[in-house]
């Protein structure tokens, strides 16, 4: 059996399906994200994928269930400030850059990102 560098550095870790998205959940695929986007009326372009990657990276640096909506919102504002921040992200994800973005990134949105009776709030 040939060992890869990933096996040596992270024994027992599962290899990501798409090397362009190194922080994606193991079960996530770009194809599934495209289907979700199509179902939600979005046509994924390069800028959408940058946001998906940013969300996956942010979540990978935190413990599961330890994502604070305000901190994530602020991190997105800072990361995309040069393009217009959150206002810009709403043009890409009208269903909410956190809620809709997380769905496309294969992530569980923070509990306060969606109000089931109202819709996306972030």
Beta pairing partners, 119: 115
- Annotated domain spans of the chain: 28-110
Alpha carbon distance 47, 66 (integer Å): 26
pLDDT, tens digit (0-9, with 9 covering 90-100), for 15-62: 556 889 999 999 999 999 999 999 999 999 999 999 999 999 999 999
Q: What is the pLDDT of residue 121?
A: 54
CA angle 86, 80, 49 (to 5 degrees): 95
Residue with the larger pLDDT of the pair 116 and 54: 54
Nearest Cα neighbor of 96 from 109, 108, 84 is 109
Given the structure tokens 């769905």, which residue do they identify? 103
Q: What is the pLDDT of residue 65?
A: 80
Q: What would the two tokens of residue 75 be?
A: 């991190």
CA angle 59, 61, 64 (to 5 degrees): 55
Please report which residue ranges of 1-122 form alpha helices under DSSP H: 5-9, 30-39, 46-60, 69-79, 85-92, 99-105
pLDDT, tens digit (0-9, with 9 covering 90-100), for 49-99: 999 999 999 999 998 788 889 999 999 999 999 999 999 999 999 999 999
Given the structure tokens 């770009």, which residue do they identify? 30
């Amino acid at each position: 059996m040939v060992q890869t560098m990933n096996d040596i550095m992270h024994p027992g870790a599962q290899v990501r399906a798409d090397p362009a998205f190194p922080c994606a959940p193991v079960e996530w695929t770009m194809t599934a994200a495209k289907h979700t986007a199509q179902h939600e009326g979005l046509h994924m372009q390069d800028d959408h994928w940058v946001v998906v990657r940013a969300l996956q990276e942010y979540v990978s640096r935190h413990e599961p269930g330890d994502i604070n909506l305000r901190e994530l919102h602020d991190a997105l504002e800072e990361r995309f400030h040069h393009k217009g921040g959150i206002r810009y992200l709403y043009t890409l994800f009208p269903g909410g850059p956190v809620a809709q973005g997380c769905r496309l990134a294969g992530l569980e949105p923070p509990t306060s990102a969606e109000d089931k009776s109202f819709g996306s709030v972030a």
